[in-house]
A and B are shown apart, each in its own frame.
Chain A
Amino acid sequence: MFLAWKELKHNKTRFVMIAVIFVLISWLVFVLSGLGNGLSTLAASTFKTMKADYVVFEQGSKASMSKSLLSNELTAKLTEMPNVSAVSPMGTIMASAINENGAANEDKVDIAIIGIDPGSFLEPSIIEGVGLTTENMTKVIVNKTMKEKGFHLGDTFKLDGSTESLTIAGFVQNQTYNHVSAVFIPITEWRKLAFAAPGSDKGVTEPVNAIMLQGKDIDPKAINEELAGTETVTRAAAVQGMPGYKEENGTIMMMLAFLLTISAFVLGVFFYVFTMQKTNQFGIMKAIGAKNGFLGKAVVSQVFVLSLSSIIVGIILTYATAAFMPKGMPFMLETKLVLTYSIILLVISLLSSLVSVRTISKIDPLQALGRVE
């Protein structure tokens, strides 16, 4: 630490230059991961926060809600399956809402209508207003981002291309589906909206898109064998099955992976060049009795100090960026995520400094004598 610190203080400019690069890298890593996290939340937060463990789809639907159609009669059968503690059906459609009250807000708003059984475990907790009831089927609960679009508690809105009107009974939070606000309605009302065209239910009695299961030790294979034409997957697999989710997430993850790989090389090369420049000094110190461990520790602790401070600055910059981002930007940083990427960056830089440590161990103290005969 002694050598590391003294050198940092003496050669400020050169270390500040590396730190700037490292800060930019970590900043980019955090911003990208925040964006990725925000996007995937927007795409599937309803699914992710749902208290379901497994999802039953129609066979061949590839775990996609929009491709799957099942009969609600299965619900009763599923309840009797081993390890299943609760069962509830669900259906989704995409729609547009037109606010009837607000004269200035005639713009249509994209929404995802999610049909559930009122009072079931699929119903999210209300932050304002009241929950779904079986009495009034047109009372719905909506994500609170609808407020920003001019929708208030008690407002009635029409659905584009439909004669149905829905009334906002309550607000929920963090419920988005397919990047748009989720609107929860009783599943019987959902059926009316989803299968308005005759024959669109393909003759299935009480059609639903999927059936959600609760239960820790459910065996998906047993259910598939027992109930013909079904496909049971974990909730995580159902999230992956959402249209565009994998592609969207994959793009961000690939960028992150490349960024981390590149940063490993960039930092590694920097530290290596630094060490090479100091070959003579290290040789002198070895000649007067310094062991490899002493010099190696100096290099690694220097890299550690440099990386840690750069990462901290990067985190501060990221939060500052987040404060200035436009409201609609899907940016979401979680402490856990920030911590994970900080540790990854730190490990990468320490690993890349090991190359330099190896170089040091090969330096011959004879060089310090200035000439080797």
Chain B
Amino acid sequence: MTKGLQITGASKYYNEGMNRIPALDNVSINVQTGEFVAVVGPSGSGKSTFLSVAGALLKATEGEVILNGQDISKLSGNQLSDIRLREIGFIMQASNLVPYLNVLDQLLVVKRMSGKVTAADKAFAVKLLEELGLGAKLKSYPEELSGGEKQRTAIARALINDPHVILADEPTASLDTKRAHEVVSLIAHEVRTRHKAAIMVTHDDRMLTYCDKVYRMEDGKLSLVPAGRLV
């Protein structure tokens, strides 16, 4: 069984009037466990569509998405919810925490979605947060956190269910350089030590040094950037 995330020949079309616009055009990518991949490209190039297809949020019109050996392109809505819950960890833009939950509860609510919260779950959540330097902030609400702390909470939330794939959508969008480096190096660290397959969509060229491979998305086409040509 192949681990990680394999996308083969995925295309996604949108109908715009009489035209059929390809947002994804025959995209293939293979991300192994322990591998941290970046996708860069101008806005409108199809990066988000790509991430949505990889993250079981959007079904590709054509092609295959294999997540940890399971083909997810033919699953129902509820099954996709389960896949997102158990197999995928999303790190979204800084504001995407639930405003009325404290840092610890942000993680525990994910556990709640799949049933009861055990003492072991709680211990794991606390350990995870301490590892990410949030030990003193367990009871803080998002409004009391800095941008970096919010993003570290989001990283912890992505890891709480021990998923196989980590998807990060512009994780540094609202951070200054110092915090951005901090956050991305943390993601890279977690990906390697926990053996996750990770994809980060970013505008931020400074962050590419943390990644193993860099892909460029242009007009729905994905191409590998040769290692020597990194900016």
Contacts and interface: CB of A to CB of B under 8 A. Distances in A.
B221 to A, nearest CB: 15
Contacts of A336: none
B91 to A, nearest CB: 10
Interface string A343-371: 00000000000000000000001101111
Given A7-B100, A373-B23, A373-B48, 5 more contacts: A3-B112, A10-B99, A284-B96, A287-B90, A291-B82
Interface string B151-181: 0000001100100000001100000000000
A10 B101 CA distance: 8
A6 B97 CA distance: 14
Interface of A: 2-3, 6-7, 9-11, 281, 284-291, 294, 365-366, 368-373
Interface residues of B, number: 43
Nearest to A3: B109
A281 B109 contact: no
A289 B81 contact: yes
Contact of A288 (B46, B48, B90, B99): B90
A289 B100 contact: no
A366 B56 CA distance: 10
B85 A288 contact: yes
A369 B81 contact: no
B105 A289 contact: no
Nearest to B100: A10
Contact of B92 (A3, A11, A287): A287
A7 B98 CA distance: 10
A301 to B, nearest CB: 13
A369 B98 contact: no
Top 10 nearest A-B pairs (CB, nearest first) are A289-B85, A10-B100, A289-B84, A7-B100, A291-B81, A373-B48, A284-B96, A290-B113, A2-B112, A370-B93
Contact of A6 (B52, B101, B114): B101
Contacts of B112: 2-3, 294
Contacts of B161: 289
Contacts of A368: 90, 92, 96
Contacts of B157: 288
B211 interface: no
Interface in B119-135: none
B58 interface: yes
Listed residue (A287, A289, A290) with the most chain B CB atoms within 10 angstroms of its CB: A289
A290 B81 contact: yes
Interface string B188-230: 0000000000000000000000000000000000000000000
Nearest to A1: B112
Contacts of B83: 289
B57 interface: yes
B29 interface: no
Contacts of A294: 112-113
A289 B55 CA distance: 10
A326 B211 CA distance: 80
Contact of A369 (B57, B78, B113, B158): B57
Contact of A2 (B109, B169, B170): B109
A288 B141 CA distance: 19
Contacts of A11: 100
A285 B98 contact: yes
A373 B92 contact: no
B33 interface: no
Contact of A289 (B49, B52, B113): B113
A11 B52 CA distance: 32
Contacts of B48: 369, 371-373
B57 A6 contact: no
B110 interface: yes
A284 B108 CA distance: 15
A284 B85 CA distance: 12
Contact of B46 (A6, A281, A287, A373): A373
